Amino acid sequence: MDYAAKRLDLLHWLRSQLIGPGHSGEFSIQGPPLNRYHQGILFPMMEGGDDMEVISEEQEDTDQGEESTYAESTQTKAGYKPPSSVGFSFCVRGDLFVFEIRCSGVRYAQEPWRDKEGRFVSATFHRVNLAGPDGESWTLQAPSTKIQNSHHRKEGILGGKAELDVLWRAKDDGWLVTVSLINSQN
């Protein structure tokens, strides 16, 4: 038995179950994506409002089927803001280095709740790729000078739906680099 191949199969399966199938073409799922994929989700940015404000009122206990279940699963609890960005930091030594950032993303568009006859149907979400099959990539290199203690670069990506934010901070004989991906939708 080839354990390395079996391990890779398991890793690919886990990745597809946690963050989705990637750019594997047309894809639709039954029910909200949040109920199926639990990792790698960046929610729209929330504007204004007090953190302790209750976003949605208590609903009456009525039987509205799956539509009600979906609405309840997407309600925001008081004081909770779902993540709209993700980032990581790392240190590098020297000034002569180059690295590449690759990014891809998808969104799910909800298909109509009713069929052609006007009857309610279960919620279906269709996958829409935000980048090409290979994603988008950027080549970054260390700033040419350390005269300033930090250098900042922000760029719209994925068709304007997200931003790539790169912050370079001088650190001893190198740089502390922070790379963030931000959902820029409201």
What are the tens digits of pLDDT across the range 18-58?
A: 667 665 666 777 777 777 777 778 888 776 544 444 444 44
| Between 166 and 143, the higher pLDDT residue | 166
Beta strands in 13-61 (DSSP E): 28-30
Q: Of 26-30, 63-67, 83-87, which gets the smallest average pLDDT?
A: 63-67
Percentage of residues in the chain having pLDDT higher than 70:
76
Report domain extents, the chain.
26-50+65-74+82-183
Measured distance CA(87)–CA(182) in Å, rounded: 8
Measured distance CA(155)–CA(163) in Å, rounded: 5
What are the tens digits of pLDDT across the range 150-161?
A: 788 898 999 889
pLDDT at 66: 46
Closest of 159, 156, 163 to residue 131, by C-alpha? 159
pLDDT at 179: 93
User: Does pTM top 0.75 for this prediction?
Assistant: no
3-state helix, strand, coil in the chain (%, to 5): 15, 35, 50
DSSP string of 95-144, one letter each residue: S--EEEEEE--EEEEEPPSB-TTS-B---EEEEEESS-TT-EEEEEE--S
